Amino acid sequence: MRFLTGLQPSGQLHIGNYFGAIKPAVELQEKGEAFYFIANYHAMTTMESAEKLRDNTFGLAVDLLACGLDPQKAVFFAQSAVPEVNELAWILSTVCPMGLLERCHSYKDKMAHGFAATHALFAYPALMAADILLYDSDAVPVGKDQKQHLEVTRDLAGKINETFGAELFKLPEPLISEVTAVVPGLDGQKMSKSYGNTLPIFGEEKAMRKLINKKVVTDATPLEAPKPTENSIILALYKLFATPEQLQAMVDAHHAGGVGYGQFKKDLFEAYWEYFRTARERREWLLAHPDYVREVLTNGAAKAREEAAKTLTRIRTAVGLIWC
């Protein structure tokens, strides 16, 4: 079973990214062949600074390695290090109906948020399909909001198979966890950079302690009174980091009263800080050894290109681009 996951280098990672995408993806490296890529071509649809793109790409590589991605168990590379993906995207584009792209909600959403109506933004699903099909992926972890793009991938693979020969492409399956961690933002909305309500995975201790203390929204229940547990942001966040016993103890303390929200926020910080201790230590080492990070990406790209060449040769032959 071969899995593929791509993440855009969009800046500082937060715990919503970790529990929603990174942790589930890293766990797959123990279950089969795992391919991970940094989607820096995709990031160009919303990012115009070359320096920022370079910094974010390297930063994401560091953060993913710190969070447990193991280059001995997985193939890890930058999307732009495998130029074959662009040729495959073009081949897929030749069978891609305009209506299919026009129905994609990601394009409409980006337009609604003021992004320029570029061809790259519009054709994003074709490149995503190429990302997936280039490595003969069997399954792709996706959130419910990205399931549509995988359906586009299956549609385009099917069109190539129908037009040029059966079974040229596998039809990858979406891998949607039935138990998805619900990560609220510090204000109770969905955690999102656009809402300014995120809790970073990596940050300076004093700043993170202050962020939790000042930004996690609570009600005005006095110290001595029992605290409501339903829709509690503190409890929703705490259960991500705490043991079941620790969580139950905090729930009991809410019911009993006599403990203020300040103490609960302190407990939340301590659990959060301890949870990512190993990742922080690993990240410090990686930042001190940038050549190692570059070597990992270079080696991963070489392996990815080997697989990409097999697929592209098969497809180029089938569609007539190799004729002798």
Q: Which residues are catalytic?
A: 110, 190, 193
Q: What whole-number distance in Å separates Cα of residue 79 and Cα of residue 82? A: 6
Single-letter code of the amino acid located at 35: F
Eight-state DSSP code of residue 12: S
Q: What whole-number distance in Å separates Cα of residue 127 and Cα of residue 42? A: 8
Task: Name the burial class of residue 185, with classes exposed (0-12), middle (13-18) and buried (19+) by CB atoms within 10 angstroms of its CB.
Answer: buried
Torsion angles phi and psi, residue 75, rounded to 5: -95, 120
- Structural contact between residues 177 and 147, judged by C-beta atoms closer than 8 angstroms: no
User: Helical H runs in the chain?
Assistant: 15-17, 23-27, 40-43, 50-66, 84-93, 98-102, 105-112, 119-122, 124-133, 147-164, 205-215, 233-241, 244-256, 261-275, 277-288, 290-319
Q: What whole-number distance in Å separates Cα of residue 198 and Cα of residue 123? A: 30
Dihedral of CA 132/137/142/144: which sign?
A: positive
Single-letter code of the amino acid located at 56: N
Single-letter code of the amino acid located at 125: P
- How far is residue 295 CA from its own chain's centroid? 22
Provide the 3-class DSSP secondary structure of residue 169.
coil
